[in-house]
Amino acid sequence: MSTLRVKRSLSIAIIGILYLAPYHISAQNKKPPLTNIDIINMTKERVDDTIIIRAIQTSETNFDVTPNGLIQLKRGKVKKKNYRDNAAGGDQQRFG
pLDDT tens digits for range 41-51: 999 999 999 99
Q: Are residues 12 and 50 in the same domain?
A: no
Residue 66 domain-assigned? yes
Measured CA to CA, the distance from residue 34 to residue 32 in angstroms comes to 7
Residues 22 and 46 in one domain: no
The tally of domains found in the chain comes to 2
pTM of the model: 0.60
DSSP string covering the chain: -HHHHHHHHHHHHHHHHHHHHHHHHHHHHPPPPB-HHHHHHHHHTT--HHHHHHHHHHS-B----SHHHHHHHHHTT--GGGTHHHHHSS-TTT--
Q: Tell me phi and psi for residue 69, to 5 degrees.
A: -65, -40
pLDDT beyond 60 at 95: no
pLDDT confidence band for 1 (50 / 70 / 90) = low
Question: pLDDT tens-digit profile of 14-65?
Answer: 776 777 666 655 556 688 999 999 999 999 999 999 999 999 989 899 999 8
The answer to whether residue 90 scores a pLDDT higher than 80 is: no
Asked whether residue 17 falls in the same domain as residue 41, the answer is no
* Model confidence pLDDT, tens digit, residues 76-85: 999 887 777 5
User: Which letter, b or e, does each residue of 65-80 get, where b requires 16 or more Cβ atoms within 10 Å of its Cβ?
Assistant: beeeebebbeeeebee
